[in-house]
Amino acid sequence: MRISVAQINTRLGDFKGNEEKIRSFAERALTEQGSDLVLFPELSLCGCPPLDLLEDKAFIKANTQALEGLARDLPPQIAVGLGYIAPAHQGKGLANMYGIILGGRIVFEQPKLHLSREAYFDEGRYFQEGQELKTFEYRDEKIGFVPATLPLGPLLPKAQAQTLSLLCAPSALPYSRGLRPQDILPGLQGGLGIPLVFINGVGANDEIIYPGASFIAVPQAEDRAGILTRAPAMVEDLISWDSRAPRLPLALESQGPSEELDQLEAALVLGIRDYMKKNGFSRIHLGLSGGLDSALVAYLAVQALGPAQVTCINNPSRFSSEGTRADAAALALNLGCSYEVIPIEECFHAFVSTLDEVFKGQPKQKNDVTEENLQARIRGLIWMAYGNKFNSILLSGGNKSEIAMGYCTLYGDTNGAMAPIGDLLKTEVFELCRRINQRSLSAGGPEIIPRSIIERPPSAELRPDQKDEDSLPPYEVLDGILRDHLYRGLGREELAEQGWDPKTIEFVLKTMGQNEFKRRQLPPALRVSVRPLGMGRRIPLSRILHEI
């Protein structure tokens, strides 16, 4: 039997568009690849994750009508597997369903087993969990379908009990740096003993990026598995495999640091591009300070939409150095995008003069954090005005380290419709910028991000000679603590056992706790880690700080 895997990019609620795409890929699988069966990802008909759209009766009705349309219009000579919403087989409510359409009707359905408990999907709130792994017998194969969020290990006993000849895993596995879909193979394939077809979606919906990278694997000797064929990451594709063909696995190299960073960049570019396209936007603008974070966001924006659709705005103040001004202009020239310089000194002076009478007699020095934040908010006001006038979307430039510590100004530099690097620690921003330059230089091209931007000590430039390390631990230390705390779940005692300074630990955790209210108000950040802030780490605002 020849099987095709259709790795497609769907849009939430676009039933007409998703239906047309499924039909088109099914016809290609039949005519171009001669396949007997074509498989699409989890919830491919409605898009993923639908969240509270599932409480909208019109959404459910449109899903049903699209499914009926596909059953009527798909080529009858090929079996088509796809994910959709359906009434639960047992009890009331809905199921995350995977079904097979053949000859104009649905001939097989499998409710999802082991619903995802991850905050981004929260499937237990919407769906009933399937209880039984069913078998679809077709073309001399006994096939099981496990629409599942990884890991698939808990499903092995059910699969083995069915004496399957093939296991298919339609999925909506999000991208996370360092995690590859093929990493599910150790301990799975050897224990199962049959081929595995992994079908993953590609594209981005809101914060979530789906990397694709679908594959077909077979068990090898010594409880190992080998990949026979795989789809590329971050793009739509259609791959196929004949179950009767010789099973010669591909030679897969381990992913090195450079390849991992290239994949990270590709994911962020895809996230920006899909956010713009799926929300009907075509223009991007951002504040370009001459610092590292905004430099990376500008570069990613240009990669996503092209230089003609990106405008960078520099807003110098009395504290802006000649170096950062020059670097911002040089970067914009390198990227080929539009560049505007709008000084804020006159606005800042007007605001300070307006507030002088109100602030008279305050014990604090005249230029404290109030005046620092005022500069950031003036810049934010200018950026928002630009967006209104030119129908352009503002990107926020904050990184995860700053967001975690609240080292940002509400209604200022936090303004924006989306934060492309909001899930990247500052040290990762450095890594990625260095990699961008290294790759360009290795290919005989220019240094894209001026070296002085990367080498200059980070600064918000809101007061004379300001440096980030005046307010924060060195980023190598801060990010190390954040990694251990957020990604490994280590508390105060465990962090100290890792060798981190107890006073620094206390400062970091306390400051994080005090700034949870800021994170509630920030734009969505593209998710690229196992523990993003926001929906990935939901902390109550009102609680005892020292217990967090």
Packing angle, helices 15-31 and 57-73, rounded to 10: 20
Answer yes or no: is 7 within a domain. Answer: yes
Same-domain check for residues 216 and 303 = no
Cβ-Cβ contacts under 8 Å for 295 (sequence gap 6 or more): 288, 327, 331, 433, 449, 450, 453
Q: What is the reported pLDDT for 92? A: 76
Answer yes or no: is 491 within a domain. Answer: no
Same-domain check for residues 36 and 147 = yes
Answer yes or no: is 279 within a domain. Answer: yes
Backbone angles phi, psi at 311, to 5 degrees: -125, 130
Burial of residue 101, with CB atoms counted within 10 A of its CB: 0-12 exposed, 13-18 middle, 19 or more buried: buried
pTM for this prediction: 0.94
Same-domain check for residues 87 and 152 = yes
Same-domain check for residues 338 and 369 = yes
Answer yes or no: is 484 within a domain. Answer: no
Q: Look at the chain and report how many structural domains it folds into.
A: 2
Q: What is the 3-state secondary structure (H, E, C) of 471-514?
A: CCCCHHHHHHHHHHHHHCCCCHHHHHHCCCCHHHHHHHHHHHHH
Same-domain check for residues 237 and 385 = no
Same-domain check for residues 271 and 218 = no
Contact 202, 174 (CB under 8 A): no
Reduced to 3 states (helix: H, G, I; strand: E, B; else coil), residue 546 is helix
Same-domain check for residues 367 and 440 = yes
Q: Which of 152, 144, 458 is nearest to 296 (CA)?
A: 458
Beta partners for residue 97, in sequence order: 84, 111
**Structural domain boundaries, residue 291:** 261-472+515-547
Q: What is the reported pLDDT for 2? A: 97
Per-position DSSP letters for 325-336, written without gaps between them: HHHHHHHHHHHT
Spacing of C-alpha 141 from chain mean position = 36
The span from the CA of 183 to the CA of 278, in Å, is 30
Q: What is the reported pLDDT for 548? A: 47
Contact 290, 453 (CB under 8 A): yes
Answer yes or no: is 505 within a domain. Answer: no
**Residues 253-302: pLDDT tens digits?**
667 889 999 999 999 999 999 999 999 999 999 999 999 999 999 999 99
Residue 324: give its domain's CATH number: 3.40.50.620
Same-domain check for residues 375 and 267 = yes
Same-domain check for residues 21 and 140 = yes
Same-domain check for residues 292 and 359 = yes
Q: What is the 3-state secondary structure (H, E, C) of 98-124?
A: EEEEECCEEEEEEECCCCCCCCCCCHH
Same-domain check for residues 207 and 304 = no
Same-domain check for residues 100 and 219 = yes
Contact 206, 524 (CB under 8 A): yes
Beta partners for residue 339, in sequence order: 312
**Residues 21-53: pLDDT tens digits?**
999 999 999 999 999 999 999 999 999 999 999
User: For the chain, which ranges sit under pLDDT 50?
Assistant: 187, 189, 547-548
Q: What is the reported pLDDT for 345? A: 94
Contact 238, 261 (CB under 8 A): no
Answer yes or no: is 498 within a domain. Answer: no
Q: What is the reported pLDDT for 263? A: 96
Answer yes or no: is 379 within a domain. Answer: yes
The span from the CA of 304 to the CA of 296, in Å, is 12
The helix (run of H) or strand (run of E) holding residue 323 is helix 322-335
Q: What is the reported pLDDT for 120? A: 76
Q: Which of 126, 115, 125, 22 is nearest to 75 (CA)?
A: 22
User: Which of 245, 275, 307 is where one domain is finished?
Assistant: 245
Backbone angles phi, psi at 336, to 5 degrees: 80, 15
Answer yes or no: is 256 within a domain. Answer: no
Q: What is the 3-state secondary structure (H, E, C) of 228-296?
A: EEECCECCCEEEEEECCCCCCCCCCCCCCHHHHHHHHHHHHHHHHHHHHHHCCCCCEEEECCCCHHHHH
Reduced to 3 states (helix: H, G, I; strand: E, B; else coil), residue 4 is strand
Residue 228: give its domain's CATH number: 3.60.110.10
